[in-house]
């Protein structure tokens, strides 16, 4: 339970902090401080349990089927690390209270700060690999937010992005690695995985898992060659640097390597990958730290170097080295955090961190200087300080390593070299900033900070001294608990004494000290501002290059792989359809038989010849002569109608005919508004265009031919057993209608019809919505030639007949109206038993309305009647739905037909069915949809007319 | 049948139909009434969908005595009439549709519904089409509902007009009309060979089809496969998607996040139904897998190259489609539960993202419109003096900014599949399943899938951080003004994703049940063909 509280407390605090007012600096600090302190106390209080029980566990089931469990596990190592995280957090909160300016939006700071703390504790205490990876990514995210805290600054934004990209990439790799580990071990539970070390190391996937996990760890711990993000992360406020980027988050990588040490370590691959990354980071980091101008820059590179030291120790495959690594993790956290705090204080009180501008601050801020001096000495590995102890252990490990010759020689030398660098940059850090002549023209006059701001740093320095002088009595037990929990029975004997006699490691330390001082003297003479030798090794530039290359490369790739042109897309669809159709044909199957068509009737053949010719003509004329193409397509439609009639499908023929008429008329009305084609045909068409056209032609031929043959094959094969006989047989007995087509439409498959009429209604509504906002091309705005010749007067709504040549057609069309209405009703009502139905009826009525509009003119028609086509659509849909829902009253499914058969006085025998209501719905909808499209088109020309005089008036 | 609960399966179709038609009848002047009707209808749909999911999941009492509901429209039993079938998968997608629909609808009521006429009816018809497509057990009826949802989507895509919308919209219409034609051809071929349109009946007759009949059937099925791949936005049939989605009105794009999943659903449904009789090509198998990988690759490249958040989101949709297709295409049934979780998570996330983008972009000042990539390539605006004082104070940010920022981060986490939200759980499940495959049947393919999942997440992360930083942290910006009606739905969708992650246990239980039903198609077939009706 208290384990859960350790994780939850910081997150709860984070949540509270987020909702406080922007200027509540003190309250925020109190809140964060309390949360952090409480967590520290909680962690500390568990020490007894850890000693007694070894491992504490708590778990909450989460997604057991995925093998996920929210489980917390605290052993000695995790306890030490958790204490480090929590205690450091408390100190840094105190420091941050004084560091942050009153104008800074502190809720965001403390909220993310506490969230990070929770996430970090989550990493440390995770008892499940996947959960660990989750918290891992959360720390990256919190770090991103904190680095970019001053997000108005470019360097903060860039640094944050770089850090996130690198660490989150590593996090993804880590996740993959964890999944592989879990897969091999059979569980993601840490205990199980820790037991399965031998299985894992022997598994074929071990190298992959190792590489991925190590990639995660190295990116997180800013190890070479992924170290470059850390110096840029220094754009964060200093408390963040002190906490995340020296004491805790960057330690997550080495924490993980130590955590999984029993599982992954002990192989050559481990030694080479982890060891070499550590060694390179150790040397290169220390070297680069020598040449930084920014105080935080020095510390950042020094952090890289010290983490490299830890990584190298972990990579040595020796238990004693592991002990040294754990020890150094703790030591580094204490002295480095305190140095960061010092750098922050200097920055805060002088306004700059540039070491070329700072000097002689000792006089203005003696306490700060003393604290920094001690911490830096620890960093350099001066005796009687904690840094010395772990560094000594490290030197001893490099000397006594059990490897072939060149490694035995090279390693101690490299270690001593790095030690020299370390001494030199520590010296420079202190000497340059605090000693020498007092600096002039600093942004602010330096003075000592408030006492509480110094307190955390002082406490840490005190710890350095204490541990440095009495290691066995201070850190000893804790270190023992931590290493015991990792190594178990194989924990080696070690001694934490300061004095081990005059031995090789001590000589190395002394050499490093002396060499460092000499190196610093040499460095002082140097004036150049560049880094010798490694100037070209710029991770940031490489990072930027990769980022830019990624986006430009993607763009180039997209240009090849994706087109924005419709033609290309349609071509691809057709080609892929063609290719896909060939797939089943590759399967070798027998049974392809082609029935002989027999000789067709000459009249029928002629009909199809004409129809086919019309279709070809449509395609041919479509580009330049829209009118001709439209007329020809009408010809094809008529041929289709006649075909239906020929094969005794009067219903289809009738429907096809009316549909054909209405669509062609509506399209004709729309033609007026299409932009004019550029008729100037180019004299010489380039070859590429010719080729493209031939390609398109052949694809069209292939597609059309293929489709034709498919249709032919399916039509000529013997009809199999299917559902169609049922419809033919049951239309009258069960459907109550003689017209099978109509019974299918309104009863057997009425649900389809309901959907289809909805589609029609939607299309009409869409056309209306689109045309309402339609602005025609300028060249089609002017009146047509005919309208200009007969400059018609504005329509007179009171006149009975339109004047001029339209008078006679108007009479005829108006006479037609009642007749057509009757016919349409007749079709509607008889539909169930004879050709007809709501669809045809509706189209007949719509046609005469169209005629009224065409002949009488929009204004005249609408002055006499106001149709509300959208209402017709809505009512039609509602009628059809009501016919469907009616069945519910009889406890029958939707759209079940209910019939009443009886006789009424005067009327006689009557058969009424809900099917009729359904068909009335279809009828109304068809009328409404067709007329709505008509009205939308008609008003287009009206609006054009209205606009004209308005513009004339302006001129 | 007795009791009105027996009619639950048809309500997701009938309710939006009636609501849509009724809204057309109400005057434009009575806007509150129209809005109220639309919200009520959608809310009821959500209730019905949840109820159906509860029944299908075995949590609630089943009025039809079983988990799979078969509703014979017109009381004509299968295979003669049209049946609606509710199993766990259908119910899940109904819930997803209703939830996303409700949130996008609420969002649109803040202002988008007034950008043109008939938004609310078209929106209801779209829901009707989606629900119908998820419910129907009949091939031709599937076509009909595809048409309903497409017709409505044409209208919605063009909603608000403007040159960009009309251009993208007409491309979209043209592509989908071609796809519809192919659908019709495929359905006709299958009917011609199998003599039936009922999916269960087709599946039952499939083993008996041999020789040329089987080839003809496969040709029909392959045409359907192409159609579904067009809908699911598989490369190279997906060029229409990004322009259309990025130019659509925000709530429309939000609800469109679900549209590609209709294609995925159809592939999954038909693919699993045909499984015992032999899947036709394109319904699972290598082709699907490779096209999925290619889709992920182009989507990821698109995200990296995107200079606009809208296009970025469009490519995110493509990546999610590719992921689903690749996972469906791999041999083995262990992917299905995680794949469905991924589907839900990515639909909710991209839906929220499209709406969020609109809110974010609305508040952006002119200066921030510099292109992200050139911004980076040329290192523009890097005037920071390295020697200047470091403790520059920050700028107080109002809560609206915090909300937008937090939502953006959550969307980014969901889309890239980073922890701790549902996107991560889903991707984790997929990778775990792929590892199982890597040790077993499909060593190469599974590793490829794992790499694709991780790398596409990485690409998304890079693209989203770059664009997010540019949009949120550029210096010149005005204080955003947000309405609760807009922020609320986005927050709700994201909270759903949080819930999906927190309740991953129960969610995965349901999804594993779903996968089990899906991969035991005989249950579906038996349920459909044994259901009673007047026809027999």
pLDDT tens for each residue of B79-137: 888 999 999 999 999 999 999 999 999 999 887 877 778 899 999 999 999 999 999 99
Chain B touched by A815 (CB under 8 Å): no
CA nearest to A759 within chain B: B148
Subunit contact A576:B226, Cβ cutoff 8 A: yes
Per-residue pLDDT at B374 exceeds 70: no
Residue A795: per-residue pLDDT: 66
Residue of A271, A215, A939, A338 whose CA lies nearest to B458: A215
Contacts of residue B393, Cβ cutoff 8 Å, sequence gap at least 6: A101, A103, A104
Per-residue pLDDT at A619 exceeds 80: yes
Q: Which residue's entry shows tokens 């290598």? A: B286
- For A146, what's the count of Cα atoms within 13 Å in the CB-facing half-sphere? 29
Q: Which of A749, A764, A775, A879 to mutate to test the interface with B (most CBs of B within 10 A)?
A: A749
Residue A531: per-residue pLDDT: 74
**Considering Cα of A390, then A392, then A393, then A397, what sign does the dihedral take?**
positive
H helix runs in B110-162, sequence order: 119-135, 139-157
CA nearest to A729 within chain B: B535
Subunit contact B394:A873, Cβ cutoff 8 A: no
Please state whether A75 falls in left (phi above 0), alpha (psi between -120 and 50) or beta. beta
Across A555-570, average pLDDT: 88
DSSP A612-650: HHHHHHHHHHTTT-HHHHHHHHHHHHHHHHHHHHHTT-H
Residue A620: per-residue pLDDT: 87
Residue A642: per-residue pLDDT: 93
A174-183, A313-322, A797-806, B509-518: the lowest-pLDDT one: A797-806
Per-residue pLDDT at A131 exceeds 90: yes
Euclidean distance between CA atoms B143 and B188, whole angstroms: 11
- For A805, what's the count of Cα atoms within 13 Å in the CB-facing half-sphere? 4
Chain B touched by A710 (CB under 8 Å): yes
Euclidean distance between CA atoms B79 and A723, whole angstroms: 7
Residue B393: per-residue pLDDT: 34
Q: Which residue's entry shows tokens 């709406």? A: B355
Contacts of residue B130, Cβ cutoff 8 Å, sequence gap at least 6: B97, B101, B145, B149, B258, B259, B262
Chain A touched by B458 (CB under 8 Å): yes
Per-residue pLDDT at A35 exceeds 80: yes
The length of chain B, given as a count of residues: 536
Per-residue pLDDT at B9 exceeds 50: yes
- pTM for the model stands at 0.92
Residues of B in contact with A351 (CB under 8 A): 389-391
What phi and psi values does residue A951 have, to the nearest 5 degrees?
-70, -40
H helix runs in A494-625, sequence order: 504-524, 539-561, 566-586, 602-621
* Cβ A652 vs Cβ A693: under 8 Å: no
Structural domain count, chain B: 1
Euclidean distance between CA atoms B189 and B195, whole angstroms: 9
Instruction: Tell me the shortest Cα–Cα distance from B374 to chain A, in angstroms.
Output: 9
Euclidean distance between CA atoms A95 and A763, whole angstroms: 67
Confidence category of residue A144, pLDDT binned at 50, 70, 90: very high
Tokens of A283: 């040397």
A391-395, B34-38, B367-371: the lowest-pLDDT one: B367-371
Residue B298 lies in a domain: yes
Residue of B291, B204, B310 whose CA lies nearest to B522: B204
Consecutive H or E run containing A108: helix A106-125
Across A360-379, average pLDDT: 91
Residues of B in contact with A718 (CB under 8 A): none
Euclidean distance between CA atoms B248 and A705, whole angstroms: 38
| First vs last C-alpha separation in chain A | 84
- For A886, what's the count of Cα atoms within 13 Å in the CB-facing half-sphere? 18
Across B65-80, average pLDDT: 86
Subunit contact B4:A591, Cβ cutoff 8 A: no
How wide is the angle at C-alpha A245 spanned by C-alphas A244 and A251, nearest 5°? Answer: 80
Confidence category of residue B465, pLDDT binned at 50, 70, 90: very high
Chain B touched by A353 (CB under 8 Å): yes
CA dihedral A59, A61, A63, A68 (to 10 degrees): 20
Residue B340 lies in a domain: yes
Consecutive H or E run containing B35: helix B31-56
Contacts of residue A903, Cβ cutoff 8 Å, sequence gap at least 6: A909, A910
Highest mean pLDDT among A9-18, B87-96, B366-375, B416-425: B87-96
Euclidean distance between CA atoms B517 and B57, whole angstroms: 11
The interface residues of chain B toward chain A in range 259-288, judged by CB-CB distance below 8 A, are 280-282, 287
Subunit contact A137:B419, Cβ cutoff 8 A: yes
Chain A touched by B230 (CB under 8 Å): yes
Subunit contact B75:A892, Cβ cutoff 8 A: yes
Chain A touched by B123 (CB under 8 Å): no
Subunit contact A584:B215, Cβ cutoff 8 A: yes
Residue B1: per-residue pLDDT: 45
Confidence category of residue B383, pLDDT binned at 50, 70, 90: very low
Q: Tell me which residue in B1, B128, B387 faces A893 most closely, judged by beta carbons.
A: B1
SS (H, E, C) B461-473: HHHHHHHHHHHHH
* Cβ A294 vs Cβ A234: under 8 Å: yes
Residues of B in contact with A175 (CB under 8 A): 428, 431, 454
Residue B388: per-residue pLDDT: 34
Q: Which of B11, B16, B21 to mutate to test the interface with A (most CBs of A within 10 A)?
A: B21
CB count in 10 Å sphere of residue A499: 8
Residue A790: per-residue pLDDT: 65
A334-348, A593-607, A845-859, A876-890: the lowest-pLDDT one: A593-607
* Top-confidence residue, B373 or A614: A614
Euclidean distance between CA atoms A835 and B212, whole angstroms: 36
Instruction: Tell me the shortest Cα–Cα distance from B158 to chain A, in angstroms.
Output: 7
Residue of A547, A160, A248, A68 whose CA lies nearest to B419: A68
Q: What is the mean pLDDT of chain A?
A: 87
Euclidean distance between CA atoms A80 and A474, whole angstroms: 13
Instruction: Tell me the shortest Cα–Cα distance from B461 to chain A, in angstroms.
Output: 8
Per-residue pLDDT at A334 exceeds 80: yes
Q: Tell me which residue in A130, A152, A721 faces B475 most closely, judged by beta carbons.
A: A152
**Residue range of the domain that includes B434:** 286-361+401-500
Residue B450 lies in a domain: yes
Tokens of A789: 């010749």
Residue B129 lies in a domain: no
Highest mean pLDDT among A552-566, A712-726, A727-741: A552-566
Q: Bridge-partner residues for B471, per DSSP?
A: none
Residue A793: per-residue pLDDT: 63
DSSP strand pairing (B82-86 vs B69-73): antiparallel
ipTM, 2 dp: 0.90
The interface residues of chain A toward chain B in range 62-101, judged by CB-CB distance below 8 A, are 62-68, 101
Residues of B in contact with A104 (CB under 8 A): 393-394
Euclidean distance between CA atoms B328 and B341, whole angstroms: 13
Consecutive H or E run containing A326: helix A319-350
Consecutive H or E run containing B85: strand B82-86
Euclidean distance between CA atoms A727 and A745, whole angstroms: 11
H helix runs in A150-250, sequence order: 154-185, 190-195, 197-202, 206-220, 229-232, 238-242
Subunit contact A66:B425, Cβ cutoff 8 A: yes
Digit-coded pLDDT (tens) for B401-459: 788 888 999 999 999 998 889 999 999 999 999 998 888 878 888 999 999 999 999 99
Q: What percent of chain B has pLDDT over 90?
A: 62
Residues of A in contact with B535 (CB under 8 A): 726, 730, 734
What phi and psi values does residue A150 have, to the nearest 5 degrees?
-90, 75
Across B31-38, average pLDDT: 92
Taking the mean position of all CA atoms in its chain, how far away is CA B398? 33
What radius of gyration do chain A's Cα atoms show?
43
Per-residue pLDDT at A665 exceeds 70: yes
Cα A632 to Cα A460, A640, A661, distances in angstroms: 93, 13, 13
H helix runs in A186-205, sequence order: 190-195, 197-202
A75-79, A226-230, A802-806, A876-880: the lowest-pLDDT one: A802-806
Subunit contact B222:A580, Cβ cutoff 8 A: yes
Highest mean pLDDT among A374-378, A651-655, B282-286: A374-378
Count of CB contacts below 8 A, A vs B?
425
- For A295, what's the count of Cα atoms within 13 Å in the CB-facing half-sphere? 33
Residue B229: per-residue pLDDT: 94
């Amino acid at each position: 339970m208290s384990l859960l509280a350790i994780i939850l407390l910081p997150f709860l605090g984070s949540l509270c902090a987020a909702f406080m007012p922007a200027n509540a600096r003190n309250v925020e600090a109190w809140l964060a401080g309390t949360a952090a302190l409480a967590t520290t106390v909680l962690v500390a209080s568990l020490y007894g349990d850890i000693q007694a029980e070894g491992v504490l566990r708590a778990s909450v089931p989460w997604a057991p089927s995925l093998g996920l469990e929210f489980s917390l596990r605290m052993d000695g190592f995790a306890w030490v690390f958790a204490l480090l995280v929590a205690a450091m957090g408390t100190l840094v909160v105190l420091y941050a209270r004084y560091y942050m300016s009153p104008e800074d939006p502190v809720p965001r700071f403390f909220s993310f700060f506490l969230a990070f703390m929770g996430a970090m504790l989550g990493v440390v205490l995770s008892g499940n690999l996947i959960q660990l990876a989750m918290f891992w990514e959360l720390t990256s995210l919190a770090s991103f937010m904190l680095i970019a805290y001053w997000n108005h600054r470019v360097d903060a934004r860039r640094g944050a992005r770089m850090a996130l990209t690198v660490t989150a990439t590593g996090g993804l790799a880590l996740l993959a690695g964890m999944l592989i580990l879990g897969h091999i071990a059979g569980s993601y539970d840490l205990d199980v995985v820790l037991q399965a070390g031998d299985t894992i190391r022997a598994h074929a996937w071990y190298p992959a898992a190792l590489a991925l996990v190590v990639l995660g760890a190295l990116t997180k711990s800013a190890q070479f060659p992924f170290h470059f993000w850390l110096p840029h992360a220094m754009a964060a406020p200093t408390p963040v640097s002190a906490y995340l980027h020296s004491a805790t988050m960057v330690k997550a990588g080495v924490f993980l390597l130590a955590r999984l040490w029993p599982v992954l370590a002990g192989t050559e691959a481990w030694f080479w990958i982890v060891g070499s990354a550590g060694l390179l980071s150790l040397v290169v980091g220390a070297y680069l730290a020598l040449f930084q101008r920014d105080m935080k820059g020095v510390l950042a590179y020094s952090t890289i170097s010290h983490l490299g030291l830890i990584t190298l120790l972990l990579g040595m495959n020796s238990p004693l080295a592991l002990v040294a690594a754990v020890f150094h993790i703790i030591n580094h956290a204490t002295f480095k955090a305190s140095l960061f705090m010092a750098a922050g204080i200097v920055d805060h009180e002088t306004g700059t961190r540039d070491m070329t501008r700072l000097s002689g601050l000792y006089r203005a801020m003696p306490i700060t200087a003393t604290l920094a001096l001690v911490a830096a000495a620890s960093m350099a590995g001066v005796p009687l300080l904690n840094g010395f102890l772990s560094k000594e252990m490290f030197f001893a490990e490099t000397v006594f390593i059990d490897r072939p010759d060149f490694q035995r020689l090279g390693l101690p030398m490299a270690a001593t070299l790095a030690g020299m660098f370390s001494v030199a940059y520590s010296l420079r850090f202190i000497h340059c900033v605090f000693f020498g002549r007092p600096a002039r023209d600093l942004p602010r006059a330096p003075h000592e900070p408030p006492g509480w701001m110094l307190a955390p740093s002082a406490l840490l320095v005190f710890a350095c001294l204490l541990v440095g002088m009495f290691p066995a009595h201070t850190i000893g037990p804790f270190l023992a608990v931590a290493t015991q929990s990792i190594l178990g029975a194989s924990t080696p004997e070690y001694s934490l004494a300061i004095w081990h006699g005059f031995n090789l490691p001590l000589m190395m330390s002394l050499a490093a000290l002396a060499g460092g001082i000499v190196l610093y003297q040499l460095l002082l003479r140097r004036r150049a501002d560049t880094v010798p030798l490694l100037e070209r090794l710029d991770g940031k530039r490489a990072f930027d290059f990769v980022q830019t290359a990624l986006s430009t490369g993607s763009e180039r790739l997209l240009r090849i792989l994706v087109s924005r042109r419709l033609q290309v897309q349609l071509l691809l669809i057709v080609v892929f359809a063609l290719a896909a159709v060939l797939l089943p044909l590759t399967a070798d199957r027998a049974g392809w038989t082609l029935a002989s068509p027999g000789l067709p009737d000459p009249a029928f053949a002629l009909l199809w010849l004409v129809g086919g010719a019309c279709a070809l003509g449509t395609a041919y004329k479509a580009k330049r002569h829209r009118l001709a193409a439209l007329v020809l397509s009408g010809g094809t439609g008529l041929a289709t109608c006649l075909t239906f009639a020929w094969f005794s499908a009067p219903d289809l023929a009738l429907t096809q005919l009316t549909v054909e008429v209405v669509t062609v008329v509506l399209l004709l009305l729309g033609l007026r508004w299409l932009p004019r084609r550029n008729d100037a045909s180019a004299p010489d068409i380039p070859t590429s265009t010719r080729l493209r056209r031939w390609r398109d032609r052949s694809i069209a031929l292939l597609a059309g031919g293929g489709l034709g043959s498919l249709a032919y094959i399916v039509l000529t094969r013997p009809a199999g057993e299917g559902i169609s006989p049922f419809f033919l047989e049951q239309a009258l007995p069960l459907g109550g209608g003689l017209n099978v087509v109509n019974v299918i439409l309104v009863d057997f498959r009425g649900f389809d019809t309901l959907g289809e009429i909805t589609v029609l209604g939607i299309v009409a509504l869409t056309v209306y919505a689109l045309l309402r906002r339609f602005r025609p091309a300028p060249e089609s705005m002017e009146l047509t030639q005919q309208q200009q010749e007969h400059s018609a007067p504005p329509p007179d709504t009171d006149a009975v007949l339109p004047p001029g040549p339209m008078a006679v057609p108007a009479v005829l069309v108006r006479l037609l109206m009642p007749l057509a209405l009757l016919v349409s009703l007749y079709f509607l009502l008889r539909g169930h038993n004879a050709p007809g139905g709501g669809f045809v009826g509706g189209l007949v009525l719509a046609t005469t309305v169209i005629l009224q509009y065409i002949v009488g003119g929009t204004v005249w028609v609408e002055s006499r009647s106001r149709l509300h086509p959208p209402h017709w659509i809505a009512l039609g849909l509602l009628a059809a739905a009501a016919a469907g829902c009616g069945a519910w009253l009889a406890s029958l499914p939707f759209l079940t037909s209910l019939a009443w058969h009886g006789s009424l006085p005067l009327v006689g025998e009557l058969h009424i069915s809900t099917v009729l209501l359904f068909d009335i719905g279809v009828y109304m909808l068809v009328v409404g949809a067709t007329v709505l499209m008509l009205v939308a088109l008609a008003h287009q020309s009206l609006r054009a007319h209205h606009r004209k005089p308005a513009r004339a008036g302006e001129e | 049948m007795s009791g009105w609960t027996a009619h639950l399966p048809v309500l997701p179709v009938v309710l939006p139909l009636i609501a849509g038609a009724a809204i057309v009848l109400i005057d434009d002047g009575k806007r509150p009434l129209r809005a109220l009707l639309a919200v009520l209808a959608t809310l009821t749909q959500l209730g019905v969908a949840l109820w159906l999911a509860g029944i299908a999941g075995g949590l609630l009492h089943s009025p039809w005595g079983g988990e799979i509901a078969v509703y014979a429209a017109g009381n004509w039993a299968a295979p003669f009439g049209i049946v609606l079938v509710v199993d766990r998968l259908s119910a899940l997608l109904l819930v997803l549709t209703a939830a996303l629909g409700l949130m996008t609808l609420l969002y649109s009521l803040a202002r988008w519904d007034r950008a043109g006429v008939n938004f609310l009816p078209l929106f209801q018809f779209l829901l009707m089409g989606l629900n119908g497509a998820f419910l129907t057990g009949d091939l031709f009826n599937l076509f009909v509902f595809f048409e309903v949802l497409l017709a409505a989507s044409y209208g919605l895509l063009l909603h608000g007009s403007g040159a960009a919308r009309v251009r993208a919209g007409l491309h979209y219409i043209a592509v989908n009309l071609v796809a519809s034609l192919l659908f019709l051809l495929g359905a006709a071929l299958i009917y011609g060979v199998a003599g039936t349109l009922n999916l269960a009946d087709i599946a039952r007759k499939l083993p008996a089809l041999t020789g040329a009949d089987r080839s003809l059937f496969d040709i029909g099925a392959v045409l359907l496969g192409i159609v579904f791949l067009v809908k699911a936005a598989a490369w190279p049939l997906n060029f229409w998607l990004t322009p259309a989605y990025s130019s659509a009105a925000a709530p429309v794009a939000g609800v469109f996040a679900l549209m590609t999943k209709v294609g995925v659903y159809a592939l999954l449904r038909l693919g699993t139904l045909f499984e015992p009789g032999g899947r036709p090509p394109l319904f699972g198998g290598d082709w699907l897998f490779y096209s999925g990988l290619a889709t992920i690759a182009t989507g990821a490249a698109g995200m990296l190259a995107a200079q606009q958040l809208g296009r970025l989101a469009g490519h995110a949709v493509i990546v999610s489609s590719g992921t689903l297709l690749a996972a469906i295409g791999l041999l083995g049934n262990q992917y299905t539960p995680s794949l469905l979780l991924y589907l839900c998570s990515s639909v909710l996330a991209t839906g929220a993202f499209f709406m969020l983008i609109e809110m974010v972009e609305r508040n952006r000042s002119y200066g921030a419109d510099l292109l992200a990539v050139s911004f980076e390539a040329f290192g523009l605006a890097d005037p920071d003096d390295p020697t200047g004082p470091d403790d520059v104070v920050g700028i107080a940010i109002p809560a609206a900014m915090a909300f937008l920022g937090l939502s953006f981060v959550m969307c980014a986490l969901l889309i890239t599949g980073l922890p701790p939200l549902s996107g991560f759980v889903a991707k984790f499940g997929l990778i775990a399943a792929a590892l199982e495959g890597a040790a077993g049947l499909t060593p190469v393919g599974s590793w490829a899938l794992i790499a694709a999942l991780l790398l596409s997440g990485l690409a998304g992360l890079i693209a989203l951080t770059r664009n997010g930083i540019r949009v949120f942290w550029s210096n010149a910006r005005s204080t955003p003004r947000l309405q609760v009606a807009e922020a609320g739905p986005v927050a709700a969708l994201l909270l759903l994703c949080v819930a999906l992650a927190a309740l991953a246990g129960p969610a995965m239980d349901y999804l594993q049940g779903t996968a089990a039903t899906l991969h035991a198609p005989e249950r579906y077939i038996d349920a459909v063909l044994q259901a009673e009706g007047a026809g027999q």
